[in-house]
Structure 1
Amino acid sequence: MYIVEEKIGKIKAILLTAAKTRDVVSYSTIYRIFDGFFEKEAATNHAVIWHTFEHACGELANPKSAIYGALLSKKDTGLPSVGFFDVFRSIRRNEYDTITGGKGIESNRIPLDNMQAIVNVERLRVYEHAMQIDNYL
């Protein structure tokens, strides 16, 4: 999948600034980084945006240490989309099962209070990780 290399630094700076200030990042903030770069409505370009985002997150931290995608915040819930929960479930299965009651709940069926608990745990991990980084890149 194509990565927009020239956008990586901006994404990392936004994520790191948010993490160091214990804040979140709206989806529209990430989309604005790509304003004028290509037609964002095209499904292929949408995939490129999020592949680039994931690459930037991976440059900030190995997801086993901190999943920077936890900082994303949808307008309606303040939570990231289901993709974050898929990553969390894959990387932190024991923690996922503890929070969700060990019922093998699929990421797209997690109750809202469990989603919030997962996000709270991971955002704290991201905030702590960011404090160990000396500069804003």
Structure 2
Amino acid sequence: MVIQEQVTVIRELLQDAAIHRTTVSFPQIFWLFDEDVAPHDVYDTLEAACVQIADWSTAIYSAVLAKSGSHMPGDGFFDIFRLHREAEYRRIAARAHVRELSLEQRRQMVAFERDRVYSHATR
């Protein structure tokens, strides 16, 4: 379920990060919600905010998300990338499933999309 009152806040956080060529941590996103909000509702809201900024074929704004250990977004990003950047996905990973991607393949996909997002944000 999308938490409508948080979509704008998340959208602005993502856009600001993209303009400044930085990232947003998952705790930064989760801190915007009450503790009792289910994680899948946070992710649904995050996805809605991304789509408000740009459709997936233009820029996948979840690319600016960064987990603390890897500094990369979660698997949801890679699923979206696979569907909306099919040629680039195949160039990097052939037909590998998202769960089979190596760290280097993930890095290449994230770098590719972050560049796209950062360029989009400065237009």
TM-score normalised according to structure 1 size: 0.87
2:36 paired residue number: 39
3-state SS of paired residue (2:2): coil
Deviation, structure 1 residue 28: 0.3
Query: What value does the CA root-mean-square deviation take over the aligned residues?
Result: 0.9
1:57 corresponds, among 26, 46, 50, to 50
Please state if 1:25 is matched with 2:18. no
Matches of 1:51 and 1:21, distance apart in 2: 25
Quick one: distance in 1 between partners of 2:73 and 2:6? 20
Match in the other structure for 1:135: none
Q: Distance in 1 between matches of 2:68 and 2:40?
A: 20
Measure how far apart 1:99 and its partner are: 1.0
Aligned counterpart, 2:2: 3
Provide Cα deviations, 1:36-67, integer angstroms capped at 9, x if missing partner: x3514xxxx11111001000000000010000
State the alpha-carbon separation in 2 of the partners of residues 39 and 11 from structure 1.
Answer: 18
TM-score (norm 2): 0.97
Larger Rg: 1
Distance 2:97 2:32 in 1: 31
Identity among equivalent positions (%) equals 33
Paired residue for 2:71? 78
Who is 1:125 aligned against? Answer: 116
List structure 1 runs of 4+ shifted beyond 6 angstroms. none
Q: Give the number of aligned pairs.
A: 123
Partners in 1 of 2:79 and 2:2 — Cα distance?
21
Q: Gaps spanning 5+ residues in structure 1: where?
A: 133-137
Aligned letter for 1:62?
Answer: D
Post-superposition Cα deviations, 1:96-120, rounded to whole Å, max 9, x if no partner, equal 00011x2x10001101011000000
Question: Partners in 1 of 2:108 and 2:2 — Cα distance?
Answer: 31
Counterpart in the other structure of 1:106 = 97
Letter in 2 for 1:89: R
Unmatched segments (≥5 aa) in structure 2: none
Distance 1:71 1:7 in 2: 18
